[in-house]
Each structure stands twice: as structure tokens, then as C-alpha cells.
Amino acid sequence: MSENTQAKPVKVGGPGRGRVMGPRPKLENPGKILSRIMGYVMKFYTPHIFVVVICIVGSVLANVQGTLFLRTLIDDYITPMIGQATPDFGPLLHAISRVALFYLLGVACAYTQARTMVYVTQGTMQRMRNDLFAHMSKLPIRYFDTHTHGDIMSIYTNDIDTMRQMISQSMPQMLNSTITVVSVLISMIRLNVPLTVITLVMVGVMMFTAGKVVGKSGKYFQVQQEALGKVNGFIEERMEGQKVVKVFCHEEKSIEEFKELNEQLFDSAYNANKFANMMGPINAQLGNLSYVIIACVGGALALGKVGGFTLGGLASFLTFNKSFNMPIMQISNQLNSIVMALAGGKRIFDLLDEKPEADEGYVMLVNAKKENGRLVECQERTGLWAWKHTHQADGSVDYVELQGEVVFDGVDFGYTDEKMVLHDVKMFAKPGQKIAFVGSTGAGKTTITNLINRFYDIQDGKIRYDGINVNKIKKADLRRSLGIVLQETNLFTATVKENIRFGKLDATDEEIIAAAKLANADGFIRQLPDGYDTVLTGNGANLSQGQRQLLAIARAAVADPPVLILDEATSSIDTRTEKIVQDGMDKLMSGRTTFVIAHRLSTVKNSDCIMVLEQGRVIERGTHEELIDQKGKYYQLYTGNAITE
């Protein structure tokens, strides 16, 4: 019992879930985080917590009752009966049934408490997950640029897990232990003050040693964290590059390097665990020491009749001494996991405190129809869209037909204010035009398209959409009017059909199949085991890169947006297949303003305007023929005739 019974939970599955944790750098404001966590729990579960507190008090009292009963059992019932000729067991039976009632109450309390805590814990976890996810979905793209996916994931797995530990175990345990400590302390003081002082001094010694040991192991835990980080980083990198290791016959060296890191990890892990393991025995034996001291000193006091202290009192005191040390140890055990939970809580709240994507836009996209040559808003889908512009000054409403005219006027942009990526970009896309961006990697092609749908906000200049400043358009409406196929194809764990339907949630099966046909994806989809109902997993891991791009094109096609952005949408489709897709793409692009980023001429050549970008500036613009005639950068890139820089 005195052994450190607090089990390290062994968890199964999931990357990173078994992350070994040690003390972290000092938290800035632990009290604030704690009260925030409590607030989070109390917001929905105040009555539950109330019940739990009552139950804890109930079970502690039942326990104390049990301890007391043992003495009364012997002193008041058994001892008087000894020597009686015809002992009357009636009162004993009565007493036992009364205690049994208390015990039963205690069991009921323990059960109610545990059961209620399940709801509180799991409910809070669910709420936290939901809040995290909902909030995360509203964060600007910038957040995902500045935080690694691994770190964000770890909030959902590791940090949520520390919260579970804290809410379900540490908190009730702390409460339980505190109540026990207080009630036992009061009883002890009432029995004998000097002995209480000795007990407290011993507790102080225990805490002091524990602190020393924890400090020592904490130091090593930190070293272990670092070593573990190094080992994990090394493993990740080498597993990713395992084929390169093979090709370069680097196996031996790789093993040597790993061995060194692994050895370092062992060293720190061994030391950290060694000291952590010492805690239990040290505390247990110090508890025994405390017991012996009290027995000796108390014996001397009782026999010397100092202050009317009796032997019976000493016996009781010894029982209390034992039941005093245990909860203290439990509290110290829980402290570490609370510190860890607070660190986890901080990261959770950090995410929740991130400023969501701001949207001051008020111009909305609505369905419209023409009545007497005037645009009128309507509910049904007409295929005609209008921007509903409510003037803030007088509340009057204007409707502007959605046509897909996009204008960039002197746009400057940088991901950070210090480093501009785009300089003074001017662009004019008439409705239905096809605009292409070309240029080497890092020239700012993708960045421009990210500005049209306002993934990022510009530092200077203006972007107008059908004559409206994009900042005035509600982001959701702006993005709904733009179809986008990104360089990196992301599919979801769902059926093929659902993945395409992502573009338009109320699309019928016919519409989906039509879109798939348009993108030339119908053929391969039908060859999948369950056709359109085949479940894709792991970002479409069982499809080729090209097939995934075709699905992404179908997804954009079903959305049927007036403006299209194709960012290297066909880069992974080989030239021959692309020719087949091209028809579909042409159909898709006809009548829509389209922005195309591509390194293949086939997608670029027939554009109404080709913009050549270099280091964030538009250096050439014009049709294919014009640019060829100019014999500038485009010509150079196109013909491969290097003009030495």
C-alpha cells in the first residue's frame, strides 16, 4: 500500500500518444490556468461537482467511521463481554449493522462519485475537443503556417490526455486526500499537540526529501525529453529517407549514429526513472520512521503521565499517524501530474485564445434573377448570382451581378511585415478571361491566388472583385464564388462520392457523376472495388497522385463556381492523360474567369494573358505570341535558351 501505486497508464496506438513527459519549463501563471480549467468544468457540471464533493466527504467519513469502529469494537463491545458467562451479542450485532450501514453509504458514495466523474470527465473532454476543433477551423491559414501539424495534433492527443488524467484522477484524489488530512489533523491535535508537531516535522522531512528526489529526477526527465526529441527526430528523418540510406549504402553509419543517440536516451531515461522510483520506498520508510518515533516518544509521554496522555490515546494516535502520511504521499504523487496537466491546459487555451480569422465583410453573395432588367434577390438557385451590397450609411441595398472580374491594383504583400513577397502587383482579369501565372518556384504565383480568396490579407494596394473591394465581401461568400484546385490534393476519409460532394453539399448523384466525367475521373472510379462508394483512407492513399488530382478537379467542377483557380492542378498527370483531361478542363473553364498556375505550356498557352513573375514582381505580361515576340524571360523559359545571368 505504501508503494507508489500510482500506475503509469499504458496507452495503445496513435502516434505520439505515449509521449513520455517530465516537468516542463516553469509555467507563468499556474493559478490562472487552473482556475480557467475549473471554470471550464464548472460551466456545465456545477451540479455534478457538487454531488462529487458531497460523495467524497461521505466516503471519507465512512472510512474514518471504520477506523473509529475498530477501537469501539474492542473497547466497548468485546472487552466487556470477555469473562461474561452468557455474553449478550445483541448490542454487538446492533453496532455492526449500524457500521455496515455507514459502509454501505460509503460504497454508494464512492460509486456515485466515480460514476459522476465519468460524465464530467468525458463530457469535458468532448466539449474541449469540440471547442478546439471548431475554433481551429476558424483560424486563419497563417496559424497553420506557423505551427507544425505535429504540434497541433499533440494538443488533441497528449494535452487532452493530461487533462483527462487531471480531472478524473488528480482532482478527486487531491480533494479526498485534503479532506482526510484535515480531519485526521484535527483529531491528532485534539489527542496530543507535541506528538502532532513531531508528525508534522516528519511530514516536512518527507516533503523535503521528496522535493530533492523530484528535483533530481526532474532534471533528468528534462534531459530525457531532449534526448527523446532527438531520437524521435532522427528516426522520423531516417525512416523518411530510408531508401536514400539504402541507395548510398549508409546502413552501417546510420546504425552507429542511432546507437549514439539511443545510448544518450537510455542514460537520461535510466536516471530519471531511477530517481522517480526511489520516491515510493523513501516515503514509505520515512512513514515507518515517523511511526516508530511517535511510538517511542508517545510511550515515554504516556508512561510519564505527561499532560494526561494515556496509552489508549497513543494507540489511536498511532493509527492516525499512519493514515496521515498516506494522503500526504498521494498529494505529492498527484502534484507532478497536475503540473503536467497545467502545461497541457496552457497549450489548449493558447489554441482557443488564438484570434480567429477576422471578417468585417458585409457584402453577401445571393441568388438572383432578372425582373424588368433589374436584379432581384431570390431563394432558389437560378445560376445567376449577385453581390448584395448593403450601404452602411443609409441601409440601402444595391445588387451587383457576379461576373468574375478581378483587379489587383498595386498590391504589396508579405507573410511577415519585414519581408515582402509581392511588390506592386497589377492585374486586370475581365469576366471569362483566362489568366496564367508563370515563373520559377518561389516567384509568388501561389501567393497571388491566396490573396484572391483572402487566405492572407494584403499590406498595401487594392483587390477588387466585380468592382467591390474584397475586404468588404464576407469571406465565406467570397470563397464560395471561387472554385479552387490546389497543388497539393487533400482528400478526406470518406467515399469517393462524398469527396466529390464536398464541392456542393446538395449535389445529386447525377451531378457528381457528371462532374467526374467532366474531369475524366469516371473511368477509374468505376474500376475501384465499390465504384463511387469506395471508401478512401489516408488522403486517398490507394489512388495515384494523378487520380487524386482528377478527383480534386471533379470536386471543383461540381461546385460550379464563376471563378476558378487552378494551382498546378494537373502537375501530376502525365502529358498523355492531361490531353484527355484537357477537354474537361476546357469545358470547365469556358465562360469562367480562370487563374491558372502551371509549368506546362498546354495549360498556359491559350490564356488571354500570361503574367511572368519573378521575385514577387510581374516582369512581363501579354499573350503567348506577344511574349514570344518580346524575347524576354518568357521566351527564355519557353525555349530553354539560357541567357546567362
Partner 1 sequence: MELSRTNHNQTEKARISKKGNTIMVKKLLSQVKEYKADSIKTPLAMVLEVLMETLIPYLMASMIDKGVEAGNLPYIFRIGALMLVLAAVGLWAGIMGGKYGARASMGFGKNLRQAMYENIQTFSFANIDKFSTAGLVTRLTTDVTNIQNAYQMILRMCVRAPISLVCAMVMAFLINARVASIYLIAVILLACVLSVMIRITMKYFSEVFTKYDDLNASVQENITAQRVVKAFVREDYEIDKFHKASGNIYKMFVKAENMIVLNMPLMQFTVYTCIMLISWVGAKMIIQNALTTGELMSLLTYCTNILMNLMMLSMVFVMITMSMASAKRIVEVLDEKPSLSNPEKPDYEVTDGSVRFDNVTFRYNEGSENPVLDHVNLDIAAGETIGILGGTGSSKTTLVNLISRLYDVSEGAVYVGGKDVRAYDMETLRNEVSVVLQKNVLFSGTILENLRWGDENATEEECIRACRLACADEFIERMPDKYNTYIEQGGSNVSGGQKQRLCIARALLKKPKILILDDSTSAVDTATDARIRKAFATEIPNTTKIIIAQRISSVQDADRIVVLDNGRIDGVGTHEELLKVNDIYREVYEAQTGGSGDFDENGGEGNV
Our CB check for partner 1 shows the closer of 61 and 110 to be: 110
Contact 416, 441 (CB under 8 A): no
Strand partners, 482: 563
Place of cell 484537357: 582
In the range 51-70, which residues lie near partner 1 by CB under 8 A?
A: 66, 69-70
Q: For the stretch 475-489, what's the b/e string if a residue is b when 16 or more beta carbons lie within 10 angstroms of its beta carbon?
A: bebbbbbbbbbbeeb
Q: How far apart are CA 58 and CA 395, in angstroms?
A: 63
Check residue 573 for interaction with partner 1 (CB under 8 A).
Answer: yes
Our CB check for partner 1 shows the closer of 342 and 552 to be: 552
Q: How far apart are CA 101 and CA 439, in angstroms?
A: 83
Our CB check for partner 1 shows the closer of 138 and 212 to be: 138
Check residue 546 for interaction with partner 1 (CB under 8 A).
Answer: yes
Q: How far apart are CA 619 and CA 320, in angstroms?
A: 86
Check residue 632 for interaction with partner 1 (CB under 8 A).
Answer: no
Q: Which of 23, 280, 431, 461 binds partner 1 (CB under 8 A)?
A: 280
Our CB check for partner 1 shows the closer of 442 and 531 to be: 442
Q: How far apart are CA 118 and CA 127, in angstroms?
A: 14
Q: Using H for helix, E for strand and C for coil, what is the string for 7-19?
A: CCCCCCCCCCCCC
Q: How far apart are CA 540 and CA 535, in angstroms?
A: 9
Say which residues have a Cβ less than 8 Å from residue 174's Cβ, sequence separation at least 6: 331, 334, 338
CB of 374 to partner 1, least distance (A): 28
CB of 410 to partner 1, least distance (A): 25
Q: Which of 390, 459, 508, 544 binds partner 1 (CB under 8 A)?
A: 544
What phi and psi, each to the nearest 5 degrees, are found at residue 439?
Answer: 150, 165
Check residue 604 for interaction with partner 1 (CB under 8 A).
Answer: yes
Check residue 19 for interaction with partner 1 (CB under 8 A).
Answer: yes
Check residue 91 for interaction with partner 1 (CB under 8 A).
Answer: no
Our CB check for partner 1 shows the closer of 30 and 632 to be: 632
Strand partners, 536: 494
In the range 282-301, which residues lie near partner 1 by CB under 8 A?
A: 282, 284-285, 288-289, 291-292, 295-296, 298-300
Check residue 193 for interaction with partner 1 (CB under 8 A).
Answer: no
Torsion from C-alpha of 86, 91, 97, 99, nearest 10 degrees: -120
Q: Which stretch binds partner 1 (CB under 8 A): 173-181, 234-242, 341-349, 413-421?
A: 234-242
Q: Which of 205, 244, 376, 397 binds partner 1 (CB under 8 A)?
A: 244
CB of 390 to partner 1, least distance (A): 20
Our CB check for partner 1 shows the closer of 183 and 499 to be: 499
Check residue 50 for interaction with partner 1 (CB under 8 A).
Answer: no
Our CB check for partner 1 shows the closer of 349 and 424 to be: 349
- Strand 617-622 relative to strand 563-567: parallel, antiparallel, unpaired? unpaired
Place of cell 478512401: 536
Say which residues have a Cβ less than 8 Å from residue 559's Cβ, sequence separation at least 6: 483, 503, 504
Check residue 374 for interaction with partner 1 (CB under 8 A).
Answer: no
Using CB under 8 A as the binding criterion, the count of chain residues that bind partner 1 stands at 180
Our CB check for partner 1 shows the closer of 30 and 280 to be: 280
Our CB check for partner 1 shows the closer of 38 and 78 to be: 78
CB of 621 to partner 1, least distance (A): 15
CB of 275 to partner 1, least distance (A): 8
Q: How far apart are CA 587 and CA 174, in angstroms?
A: 67
- Strand 385-390 relative to strand 397-401: parallel, antiparallel, unpaired? antiparallel
Helix spans in 304-410 (H): 311-353
| Of the candidates 149, 15, 130, 137, the residue with the CA atom closest to the CA atom of residue 488 | 149
Our CB check for partner 1 shows the closer of 253 and 526 to be: 253
Q: Using H for helix, E for strand and C for coil, what is the string for 482-520?
A: EEEECCCCCCCCEEHHHHHHCCCCCCCHHHHHHHHHHCC
Q: Which of 201, 205, 306, 311 binds partner 1 (CB under 8 A)?
A: 311
Q: Which of 57, 61, 68, 96 binds partner 1 (CB under 8 A)?
A: 96
Our CB check for partner 1 shows the closer of 309 and 408 to be: 309
Check residue 358 for interaction with partner 1 (CB under 8 A).
Answer: no
622: left (phi over 0), alpha (psi -120 to 50) or beta: left
Burial-class residue 9 by CB neighbours within 10 Å (0-12, 13-18, 19+).
exposed
Torsion from C-alpha of 53, 54, 58, 60, nearest 10 degrees: 20
Check residue 130 for interaction with partner 1 (CB under 8 A).
Answer: yes
Contact 367, 381 (CB under 8 A): yes
In the range 463-522, which residues lie near partner 1 by CB under 8 A?
A: 475-476, 479-480, 482, 484, 486, 490-493, 502-503, 505
Q: Which stretch binds partner 1 (CB under 8 A): 24-32, 414-422, 458-466, 542-550?
A: 542-550
Check residue 306 for interaction with partner 1 (CB under 8 A).
Answer: no
Angle at CA of residue 31, ends 26 and 35, nearest 5°: 135
Check residue 229 for interaction with partner 1 (CB under 8 A).
Answer: no
Place of cell 441595398: 397
CB of 31 to partner 1, least distance (A): 29
Check residue 606 for interaction with partner 1 (CB under 8 A).
Answer: yes
Check residue 100 for interaction with partner 1 (CB under 8 A).
Answer: yes
Our CB check for partner 1 shows the closer of 2 and 332 to be: 2
Q: Which stretch binds partner 1 (CB under 8 A): 256-264, 411-419, 464-472, 526-534?
A: 256-264
Our CB check for partner 1 shows the closer of 32 and 246 to be: 246
Q: Which of 92, 335, 378, 400 binds partner 1 (CB under 8 A)?
A: 92
Q: Which of 23, 30, 241, 461 binds partner 1 (CB under 8 A)?
A: 241
In the range 376-395, which residues lie near partner 1 by CB under 8 A?
A: none
What phi and psi, each to the nearest 5 degrees, are found at residue 461?
Answer: 95, -170
Which grid cell sits at 208? Answer: 523535503
